[in-house]
Chains A and B, each alone.
Chain A
Amino acid sequence: MIQGTAGTKFLLMLLFLVLLIVPHAPFMNSYLLYILDLIYISVLVALGLNLLAGYAGQISIGHAAFYALGAYSSAILQAQLGLPFLLTMVLAASFTAVVGYMVGLPAIRLHGLFLAMATLAFGRVVEELLVIPLLEPLTHGADGMPVPVAKLGPMVLKSDTWAFYYLCLVLATVMTWLAVNIVNSRTGRAFIALRESEIAAQTSGIDLAKYKTIAFALSAFYTGLAGALYAQAVTFIAPDGFTIFLSVKFLAVIIIGGMGSILGSVLGAITLAVLPELFAKLPGEWGAPMIFYGGALILVIMFMPQGMAGWVNALRYRLALRRLQSAPQLAPSARDAVAD
């Protein structure tokens, strides 16, 4: 991996500035703003899932459930207790993280694919819970529930307001920065170690159960936070929006973007954000989204397993190599660093 240079840092700053100014651009309208909000939300989910699947190596096919828990718990707290959104958002994400921790608990006994199956089962249980009559006063069952309009001081937090856009932008940026730091920390290295070989990781003193549950809780936190924001953006949530197919879409985002790559999470989220709008134009009975996402998962895994992040890394590698060739007097240690 080539470390971020001054050049990339400059580019990132520039990008952030552009994103700060963009809602005030003359071509901007409320629909475009809504799409941008969804991209930031999708980045959060992708980061969460990538920390779990891409770094810690635990496949989850139940992430729609965490998303639903975030969305519902935030909306219910607002509707029932009248709490402000910034608080319910944090509470919802924390609650989802606790649930994620509990879902990760069987990890103490399980390895590999069992856990994936357990997440699938978890997803189904949450789907059923959302429509269970016992909870209907809170969730409104299969009819779905309207999400209360949130306010931050005098500003309304809706998908077409600048306030909400900046909230999403700041959260996406902070959480990306956080993810980069987690990945480069002791915890992140433990994740990667247990992904590569559980036995080898254990041999080097990594507590598998601890780090798997941490990975689940962390991933659920990201996804729950995204769910809370999503509820605000769409203003209405219903159980049929949180099916297993949504979990498959989340997986597609990180597979297409690049497993085990923060950059990949962001690229995947951006690439796939516009698709729902395209598919909405096709007749529903064609089943185009399912064919696309299913086919994409298979083809990407077969032919470009590193996803889009793989292209970027290849490009950076080639650029660095060219720079080396034009400067042959460079010390050998620098050459090794690039080839690493």
Chain B
Amino acid sequence: MFLQQVVGGLATGSIYALVALGFILIFKATDVVNFAQGELMMVSTFFAKTMIDRLHPADVWMWLAVVLLTIGFAALFGVVLERLIIRPLMHAPVFSIVIATIGLSTLLIGLSGGVVWDWDTYPGKSPFSNKPVSLGGIVVTPLDMGIVGITLGLILLLTLFFKFTKLGIAMRATQQNQQTATLMGINVKGIFAGTWALSAVISGVAGFLAAPIIFIDTNMGYVVLKGFAGAVLGGWGSIPGAIVGGMALGVMENLATVYVWPQIKHMAAFLVILLVLLCKPDGLLGFTVKKV
């Protein structure tokens, strides 16, 4: 029973982890908490849904095409938003940029629901089946395994990207110190745009994976709050912290539902935020970023 809940929580936890990762990337590069992160995810997921409705993917290649189209769209969307809204505010106080992202989040919900798509709730489709399989006494669905697998794969790819590619290293340099990065000949503006694109892509993938579990509607961006809670739990500002914290939160939610009180599920994340902030603000991994 206990193990069952832990395994079940890992799938939702993976989504929280990805969402948290999207947050942290933008925060580390630009010092901005992007309150529109959830809506980036929502728009990409709606786009994926539209593509699925148009293309009716049946085999692996068609699904791959849908995924690649969604990733391309998310990247473009991230770059456009950065260019239109964030870059003009680059020299404004962080406060102003945050307000702008709050506005952006509301605007995107309004535009998605009112103009581009609608306010209905749709079940998400996935290439993975939802039929439970028993693995050594623990019941899992291929969907859950797919979500965890893709998340881990994506994290591995990102780690390699940040460690070994020139662009990844330039991004890390910018995160550490913008001025020095500029002096080293790094195009910081380009890195900002790239960070937004990368973050939007990660959120898009998270949305694509999450859609069969949490349904697609204009409010689905709220799941980002859980991602934030995960990031705080793991240690704000740390990429491993975001992943561990997100996963841990998913598991904790499941356990709390069974062992504490069923109705606590949606509140657990927020109680976790408040508790962690009060008791151990550095998070589980005890890692704080101090920028000079």
Contacts and interface: CB of A to CB of B under 8 A. Distances in A.
Interface of A: 57, 59, 61, 105-106, 109-110, 112-114, 116-118, 120-122, 124-125, 128, 132-133, 245, 248, 251-252, 255, 285-298, 301-302, 305
Contact of B33 (A117, A248, A305): A117
Contacts of B236: 114
Given A109-B281, A118-B274, A121-B229, A255 B108 contact: no
Interface stretch (B40-48, B98-106, B149-157): B98-106
Interface stretch (B3-11, B110-118, B189-197): B110-118
A248 B110 contact: no
3 closest cross-chain pairs (CB), A and B = A287-B114, A297-B103, A294-B107
A136 to B, nearest CB: 12
Contacts of A122: 270, 274
B193 to A, nearest CB: 18
Interface stretch (B87-95, B121-129, B136-144, B249-257): B87-95
A74 to B, nearest CB: 24
A251 B271 CA distance: 24
A288 B115 CA distance: 9
B33 A287 contact: no
B107 A61 contact: no
Most chain B CB within 10 A, of A57, A133, A292, A298, is at A298
A2 B102 CA distance: 32
A113 B267 CA distance: 21
Interface residues of B, number: 44
Given A118-B273, A287-B109, A287-B110, A125 B267 contact: yes
B33 A255 contact: no
A255 B119 CA distance: 28
Contacts of B113: 285, 287, 290
Interface string B197-224: 0000000000000000000000000100
Given A298-B103, A301-B100, A121 B92 contact: no
B103 A293 contact: yes
A305 B96 CA distance: 8
Contacts of B69: none
B228 interface: yes
Contact of A120 (B95, B111, B225): B225
B56 interface: no
16 contacts: A59-B95, A61-B35, A118-B274, A118-B277, A120-B225, A121-B270, A124-B222, A133-B263, A285-B113, A287-B113, A287-B114, A290-B107, A290-B114, A298-B100, A298-B103, A302-B85
Given A106-B274, A286-B114, A288-B114, 10 more contacts: A106-B278, A114-B277, A116-B33, A120-B35, A124-B225, A252-B103, A285-B114, A294-B108, A296-B103, A301-B89
Most chain A CB within 10 A, of B103, B118, B267, is at B103
Contacts of B89: 301-302
B170 interface: no
A245 B85 CA distance: 21
A287 B94 CA distance: 28
Contacts of A120: 35, 225, 228
Most chain B CB within 10 A, of A105, A122, A292, A297, is at A297
Contacts of A117: 33, 228, 232, 273
A291 B107 CA distance: 5
Most chain B CB within 10 A, of A61, A289, A301, is at A301
Contacts of B115: 286-287, 291
B163 interface: no
A255 B114 contact: no
Given A301-B92, A301-B96, A302-B100, A132 B263 contact: yes
A297 B267 contact: no
Interface string B72-96: 0000000000000100110010111
Contacts of B105: 294
B270 A291 contact: no
A297 B269 CA distance: 28
Contacts of B98: 59, 113, 116
B118 A285 contact: yes
Contacts of A59: 95, 98-99, 102
Contact of B104 (A255, A285, A287, A298): A298
B102 A291 contact: no
Contact of A285 (B96, B100, B119, B266): B119
Interface in B37-73: none
A290 B106 contact: yes
Nearest to B114: A287
A141 to B, nearest CB: 12
A121 B274 contact: yes
